[in-house]
Chain A
Amino acid sequence: EDQVTQSPEALRLQEGESSSLNCSYTVSGLRGLFWYRQDPGKGPEFLFTLYSAGEEKEKERLKATLTKKESFLHITAPKPEDSATYLCAVPILTGGGNKLTFGTGTQLKVEL
């Protein structure tokens, strides 16, 4: 069964304190991995797609990396506005489309 596990469940950082969030997966034939950010009361906001092991993508203070078993979201010198829940998801092919299997997310809180 396809599974996505995220750790830690919650993370508290001081402003400027870099860290990494983990997303591990068991999927037969990985076809990509998505990272989303979700603010309270809002829908998930797309951040990155990674398609193959070794791939990296960056956006401002965020960098996502992918290996054959897991993905990391590195946050460098975070600011309070980076506080959100970060979700990873893998696409599962279905009838011509791709339904997403999500992890339960990492709730990040960045404090001054």
Chain B
Amino acid sequence: GAGVSQSPSNKVTEKGKDVELRCDPISGHTALYWYRQSLGQGLEFLIYFQGNSAPDKSGLPSDRFSAERTGGSVSTLTIQRTQQEDSAVYLCASSPDLGASPYEQYFGPGTRLTVT
């Protein structure tokens, strides 16, 4: 079946511009996660959605970062007034997460963001 998809695959933007990154999770997965992967930092958690709600936004690095999820499906991560330190690969993952037991998360291919 279809996996997690993300778009665009690559995005080059000028410092100060806003960008939107999109994630389409696996159909039926209620949980959606955003992570960031940068050189030397590894994979870092950004935000978690259960349905359309975001119970944990603790990983968002600043108030320039926001995310939403609609219809319990597609999610958009928005970065306003981009800075060079925002350059990274942004990864989305989805999971059934139906109860207390942790389920595996399935990752998309990522969006590589370069801020010039």
Contacts and interface: CB of A to CB of B under 8 A. Distances in A.
Interface of A: 31-32, 34, 36, 41-46, 49, 51, 87, 89, 91, 93-105
Given A32-B101, A32-B102, A96 B108 contact: no
Nearest to B33: A99
Contact of A100 (B50, B56, B58, B105): B105
B43 A100 contact: yes
Given A43-B91, A45-B107, A98 B4 contact: no
Nearest to B51: A96
Interface of B: 4, 31, 33, 35, 42-45, 48, 50, 55-56, 58-59, 91, 93, 95, 97, 100-110
A100 B103 CA distance: 11
B50 A95 contact: yes
Contacts of B4: 43
B68 to A, nearest CB: 16
B106 A97 contact: no
B105 A46 contact: yes
Nearest to A98: B102
Given A43-B4, A46-B106, A94-B48, A87 B56 contact: no
Nearest to B47: A99
Contacts of A100: 33, 35, 43, 45, 93, 105
